[in-house]
Chain A
């Protein structure tokens, strides 16, 4: 993806020589791609190990593959933690056969917007580690350093079919820090949950929150224009830092001192870190896309995006996903125009729609939130097949996180992240019966030995078991 974008930009240099700012950025970006400036070993690497698994043949279910297809009476063969085959009448010697008896199967559900672990249960002040609200731009913070793997919310999310999730910093800041993508397995350390090979995200936030938080402290930003000045200043600083590195390399001088904040921003400009931009209003999303163009990065996904439906065409054109709720609205001014059909209208316009939670309860029922949207848009005669809608919480979500090569659909060679539902997952009565992560049974509603419980629950009366 990056190389394609890069060549497009080279082309722009030729035709836009008079655009000096753009040229300067682009030449700087060329340097980024040509010189190994960030030659630090990737720190904090994943220590994820899949749980033990066996070869499984799930037989006779209604399968929503996540690729847009529905297979009735279908089978899924899982081997070595991967999807080995999907289809009808599969046979596999030595596989343990699980009779689905018409149960439904979907890819593991993916939530692109969660704060689990960073604002863990109980929600006491001591567990509030989401917003580093001490400066409006904090690209130097990494949310994984706040994630407490003992949050009971991970377990209840698992019982709702969540196999992968992105934990983001909050929205107090214009640039809030790095996100982390996790596989939803119980673990003692966050490193053991980190999705191997997943890119980092960068959390940015538009609108009311940053201007309220800092305006309330009598400092910038206190307006939306102040917000925009803040983003631009941060990108200009990042480019300046890069230029210093380039110069030092050129002159064979010592590199400038490492700067965590700018390393992250440069990671975005290089296309290695994906921008996840909290933004409600349509006009502000459009402005954020302009800023991305000015500095040569891409907005991978707008989050919350309550008014995305008003600019569905623009989002489709720019290839920016919009991650939305089904029905949250009105809790603040910029959420006043929320409509249930948001994701469906995006889908209709050819944009990338994702349904997210931002909530420890909502994350347990992303299937239901998706169903609400499908039901709402039926009222205006738009019928979105289940096989399509399920993508909003599976493959599209995986794309938004940059892990769609590995997970998000039931396709040969992908991680066997799979949910078995007792009935149609678009029903309010549906429950995840079994949740497989990398082919391992991570949760089973009918087997208490596969129902994890966090430490908090011991001796405290916390109810486990998917309840």
Chain B
């Protein structure tokens, strides 16, 4: 128990392992400062939580006698942040292949490769992310077909999921959140060596999805037409792609080069799909076009280097330019990924240093991330009726030295210790009577 952050939390964090299966007590967070929908700060606010849901938010709301009361002491309380980066729960040690499940070399499955089944809520990465105020994460499939003979269908890596970061065995919130496609050098390689082939693969997949949906609607049997005979889409792939053309799922496209992004905008308009761009090093060049096509960008907020010929126009004020044009944003970054998903806060801060309004940056990590990932209303917004994923911050959440004092997921207060804080505590003193393994 001495390793828990505070005694008051300790009382409610015992046996958190199956936290979300417990019925959470009603909680009142009092004396909070919140950001209103218009981005203004509102102090002296009370937030009532019960049954995993925010029951009320406002000033002059009394807490009932039987509620757990947490005095936020004027601190900022926001919706929990949503990482749209990496593959939390599907990777433990990057270079230890056996501990990584975020991609599969599979001749049959592309868009139909679904990650959610392999999600490990006990992964040490989850508590580490949570301690930094992240409460949900998009779980991204990797494109893993290096060395295989290129086939253009392979630009589709799979179907991303969304999980909460409570560590419970019911963490998967959205088993199918988006179909993920890779363009750029990854897509080029996967498609056999040309960006044209990769784009053709994207269109072929959407065509197949459309045909599948049409034949299903007509009650007729579906088979891939002659024109797509070379595309090894399995029935499971085609079924997922149908969800994209029917706008049930967004298409999340990992792409950086403006020329390719221009094609993605055309494809989006042509097929009438919902598209989100991830990476987007040169997306700022097409900011107005992206806004017009209602395409959001999960922007790499750290890259300003010509890492490849796809990144020539990378710049740190990308986010500011995109937001100014009305593009909805969220963040990932160079040093983010799975293990450091927590660094999305820093990445957003860097964007603020380069001109993005602070409120937009905070919204990008919560409301906008949720909206881009199809979570409208329920998650990522501190409002009555919303899922009670909340963070009490001890300072500006984008600042480097700020940490949560309290994190709630589904209304349940979370343990803010993790493997790293335990390692820290074990080795805080060098001179110990017994070896550190006894600590």
A339 and B403 contact, CB distance less than 8 A: no
Given contacts A372-B400, A467-B354, contact A313 B430 (CB under 8 A): yes
B312 and A330 contact, CB distance less than 8 A: no
- With a cutoff of 8 Å between Cβ atoms, the chain A residues found around residue B306 in the complex are 121-122, 152, 456-457, 460, 462
Is there a chain A Cβ closer than 8 Å to B311's Cβ?
yes
B436 and A330 contact, CB distance less than 8 A: no
Is there a chain B Cβ closer than 8 Å to A371's Cβ?
yes
- With a cutoff of 8 Å between Cβ atoms, the chain B residues found around residue A461 in the complex are 282, 312-313
A398 nearest CB across to chain B (Å): 24
Task: Give Cα distance in the complex from A361 to B316, angstroms.
Answer: 11
B352 and A330 contact, CB distance less than 8 A: no
Is there a chain A Cβ closer than 8 Å to B304's Cβ?
yes
Is there a chain B Cβ closer than 8 Å to A312's Cβ?
yes
Contact residues, A169-198 vs B (CB, 8 A): none
Contact residues, A138-160 vs B (CB, 8 A): 152-153, 156
B428 and A360 contact, CB distance less than 8 A: no
Is there a chain B Cβ closer than 8 Å to A349's Cβ?
yes
B304 and A328 contact, CB distance less than 8 A: no
B402 and A375 contact, CB distance less than 8 A: yes
Chain A residue, CB-CB nearest to B285: A461
Given contacts A310-B436, A427-B399, A462-B312, contact A330 B125 (CB under 8 A): yes
Task: Give Cα distance in the complex from A374 to B306, angstroms.
Answer: 31
B349 and A331 contact, CB distance less than 8 A: no
Given contacts A122-B309, A349-B430, A460-B312, contact A330 B354 (CB under 8 A): no
Most chain A CB within a 10 A radius of its CB, from B92, B125, B311, B353: B353
Is there a chain A Cβ closer than 8 Å to B303's Cβ?
yes
The one of A312, A361, A428 that contacts B398, using a Cβ cutoff of 8 Å: A428
Task: Give Cα distance in the complex from A461 to B257, angstroms.
Answer: 12
Main secondary structure of the interface of B (DSSP, over half): loop
A1 nearest CB across to chain B (Å): 25
A208 and B352 contact, CB distance less than 8 A: no
- With a cutoff of 8 Å between Cβ atoms, the chain B residues found around residue A429 in the complex are 349, 352-353
- With a cutoff of 8 Å between Cβ atoms, the chain B residues found around residue A427 in the complex are 399-400
Is there a chain A Cβ closer than 8 Å to B37's Cβ?
no
A375 and B400 contact, CB distance less than 8 A: yes
Chain B residue, CB-CB nearest to A381: B428
Task: Give Cα distance in the complex from A349 to B428, angstroms.
Answer: 9
A327 and B425 contact, CB distance less than 8 A: no
B343 and A327 contact, CB distance less than 8 A: yes
Most chain A CB within a 10 A radius of its CB, from B304, B307, B430: B304
- With a cutoff of 8 Å between Cβ atoms, the chain B residues found around residue A359 in the complex are 334-335
A428 and B346 contact, CB distance less than 8 A: yes
B125 and A361 contact, CB distance less than 8 A: no
Task: Give Cα distance in the complex from A375 to B399, angstroms.
Answer: 10
A383 nearest CB across to chain B (Å): 11
- With a cutoff of 8 Å between Cβ atoms, the chain B residues found around residue A330 in the complex are 92-94, 124-125, 338-339
Chain A residue, CB-CB nearest to B311: A122
A361 and B334 contact, CB distance less than 8 A: yes
Contact residues, A332-355 vs B (CB, 8 A): 332-333, 336-341, 345, 349
B305 and A121 contact, CB distance less than 8 A: yes
A350 nearest CB across to chain B (Å): 10
- With a cutoff of 8 Å between Cβ atoms, the chain B residues found around residue A124 in the complex are 308
Task: Give Cα distance in the complex from A247 to B417, angstroms.
Answer: 63
B236 nearest CB across to chain A (Å): 31
Task: Give Cα distance in the complex from A380 to B425, angstroms.
Answer: 8
Task: Give Cα distance in the complex from A208 to B418, angstroms.
Answer: 26
Given contacts A156-B305, A312-B430, contact A337 B353 (CB under 8 A): no
Is there a chain B Cβ closer than 8 Å to A258's Cβ?
no
A426 and B401 contact, CB distance less than 8 A: yes
Is there a chain A Cβ closer than 8 Å to B95's Cβ?
yes
Is there a chain B Cβ closer than 8 Å to A4's Cβ?
no
A199 nearest CB across to chain B (Å): 30
Given contacts A313-B431, A327-B340, A428-B349, contact A152 B401 (CB under 8 A): no
Interface string of B385-400 (1 = CB under 8 A from A): 0000000000000111
Interface string of B288-325 (1 = CB under 8 A from A): 00000000000000111111110111111100000000
A345 and B428 contact, CB distance less than 8 A: yes
A467 and B317 contact, CB distance less than 8 A: yes
A345 and B343 contact, CB distance less than 8 A: no
- With a cutoff of 8 Å between Cβ atoms, the chain A residues found around residue B311 in the complex are 122
Chain A residue, CB-CB nearest to B92: A330
Task: Give Cα distance in the complex from A328 to B430, angstroms.
Answer: 23
Chain A residue, CB-CB nearest to B425: A380
A467 and B401 contact, CB distance less than 8 A: no
B303 and A374 contact, CB distance less than 8 A: no
Interface string of B53-80 (1 = CB under 8 A from A): 0000000000000000000000000000
- With a cutoff of 8 Å between Cβ atoms, the chain A residues found around residue B431 in the complex are 313
Interface string of B208-226 (1 = CB under 8 A from A): 0000000000000000000
Is there a chain A Cβ closer than 8 Å to B350's Cβ?
yes
Is there a chain B Cβ closer than 8 Å to A379's Cβ?
yes
Is there a chain A Cβ closer than 8 Å to B96's Cβ?
yes
The one of B95, B307, B353 that contacts A121, using a Cβ cutoff of 8 Å: B307
Is there a chain A Cβ closer than 8 Å to B420's Cβ?
yes
- With a cutoff of 8 Å between Cβ atoms, the chain A residues found around residue B317 in the complex are 467
B280 nearest CB across to chain A (Å): 14
A463 and B400 contact, CB distance less than 8 A: no
B427 and A331 contact, CB distance less than 8 A: no
- With a cutoff of 8 Å between Cβ atoms, the chain B residues found around residue A340 in the complex are 420
Most chain B CB within a 10 A radius of its CB, from A340, A364, A428, A429: A428
Is there a chain B Cβ closer than 8 Å to A430's Cβ?
yes
Is there a chain B Cβ closer than 8 Å to A96's Cβ?
no
The one of B308, B340, B420 that contacts A123, using a Cβ cutoff of 8 Å: B308
Task: Give Cα distance in the complex from A375 to B401, angstroms.
Answer: 4
Is there a chain B Cβ closer than 8 Å to A431's Cβ?
yes
B92 nearest CB across to chain A (Å): 7
B424 and A123 contact, CB distance less than 8 A: no
Chain B residue, CB-CB nearest to A362: B335
A407 nearest CB across to chain B (Å): 26
A371 and B401 contact, CB distance less than 8 A: yes
Is there a chain A Cβ closer than 8 Å to B423's Cβ?
yes
Contact residues, A421-467 vs B (CB, 8 A): 426-431, 456-457, 460-463, 467
- With a cutoff of 8 Å between Cβ atoms, the chain A residues found around residue B400 in the complex are 368, 371-372, 375, 426-428
- With a cutoff of 8 Å between Cβ atoms, the chain B residues found around residue A122 in the complex are 306-309, 311
Task: Give Cα distance in the complex from A345 to B424, angstroms.
Answer: 9
- With a cutoff of 8 Å between Cβ atoms, the chain B residues found around residue A345 in the complex are 424, 427-428
- With a cutoff of 8 Å between Cβ atoms, the chain B residues found around residue A310 in the complex are 427, 436
Task: Give Cα distance in the complex from A330 to B419, angstroms.
Answer: 12
Contact residues, A100-140 vs B (CB, 8 A): 121-124
Task: Give Cα distance in the complex from A156 to B350, angstroms.
Answer: 14
* Extra pairs beyond A333-B93, A379-B5, A463-B313 (8, CB < 8 Å): A121-B306, A122-B306, A313-B430, A340-B420, A360-B305, A368-B346, A428-B352, A462-B306
- B-binding residues in A (CB < 8 A): 121-124, 152-153, 156, 208, 309-310, 312-313, 327-333, 336-341, 345, 349, 359-362, 364-365, 368, 371-372, 374-376, 378-380, 426-431, 456-457, 460-463, 467
- Closest 6 interchain pairs by CB? A375-B401, A428-B349, A332-B95, A331-B94, A330-B339, A463-B315
A-B contact pairs, 6 of them (CB 8 A): A122-B309, A309-B424, A330-B339, A340-B420, A428-B398, A461-B313
- A-binding residues in B (CB < 8 A): 5, 92-96, 124-125, 282, 302-309, 311-317, 334-335, 338-340, 342-343, 346, 349-350, 352-354, 398-403, 420-421, 423-425, 427-428, 430-431, 436
